[in-house]
């Protein structure tokens, strides 16, 4: 069981760690678009194929990120959290996912052993974490909070629209909206009696 203190603590990445499996990603235009109801059907199809392919390796699979929040503007990229017993045992899931077209792009031992695989079409970021991972729990809480709190949804939309201007790297885009994300997390944590 995860300690609640671990959920409210946001670890800094190890500055000496290079997370990029194939080198830093190429620059791209960061596009934020209106909510598309097809994202839900796309996620359902993707999740079904992943579960069928990996079988009982999948302990949980969730649609997270902005495409999982009805009405939310988002980068047209489906974010999925895949929970496995041990992300370091890549042989149990990476080869099978590669056969589906996914490419392992990120390996972060210092950040909950996070792995990220990218699918080019449709665009997917498949995040792999272990059981009871604080980051996965935060993803679920954030998604569910935005689904139920329209005022925070509006604040986050404004932050996203501003953050995308003149950036060519997703990391820079994420950095620009980080303050609003943390403000929303503070409200989530307070509502759960963790602060």
Burial class (CB within 10 angstroms; exposed 0-12, middle 13-18, buried 19+) of 58: middle
How do residues 44-82 score in pLDDT, each as one tens digit? Answer: 999 999 999 999 999 999 999 999 999 999 999 999 999
The predicted structure's pLDDT at residue 155: 95
Given a cut of 80, whether residue 1 has pLDDT beyond it is no
Tokens of 63: 């649609």
Tokens of 8: 């409210």
| Nearest-angstrom CA–CA distance, 191 and 179 | 19
Percent of the chain at pLDDT > 70 equals 100
How do residues 170-193 score in pLDDT, each as one tens digit? Answer: 888 888 999 999 999 999 999 999
* Arithmetic mean of pLDDT, 127-139: 97
């Amino acid at each position: 069981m995860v300690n609640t203190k671990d959920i409210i603590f946001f670890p800094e990445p190890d500055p000496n760690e290079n997370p990029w499996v194939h080198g830093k990603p190429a620059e791209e235009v960061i596009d934020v678009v209106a909510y598309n109801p097809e994202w839900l059907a796309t996620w359902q199809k993707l999740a079904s194929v992943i579960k069928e392919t990996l079988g009982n390796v999948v302990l949980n699979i969730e649609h997270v990120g902005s495409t999982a929040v009805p009405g939310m503007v988002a980068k047209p990229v489906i974010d999925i959290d895949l929970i496995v017993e041990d992300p370091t045992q890549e042989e149990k899931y990476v080869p099978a996912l590669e056969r589906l077209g996914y490419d392992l792009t990120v390996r972060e031992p210092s950040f909950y052993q996070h792995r990220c695989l990218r699918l080019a079409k449709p665009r997917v970021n498949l995040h792999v974490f272990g059981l009871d991972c604080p980051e996965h729990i935060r993803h679920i809480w954030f998604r569910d909070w935005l689904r139920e709190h329209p005022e925070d949804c509006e604040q986050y939309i404004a932050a996203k629209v501003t953050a995308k201007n003149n950036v060519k790297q997703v990391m820079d885009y994420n950095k620009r909206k980080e303050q609003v994300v943390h403000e929303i997390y503070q409200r989530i944590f307070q509502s759960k009696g963790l602060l």
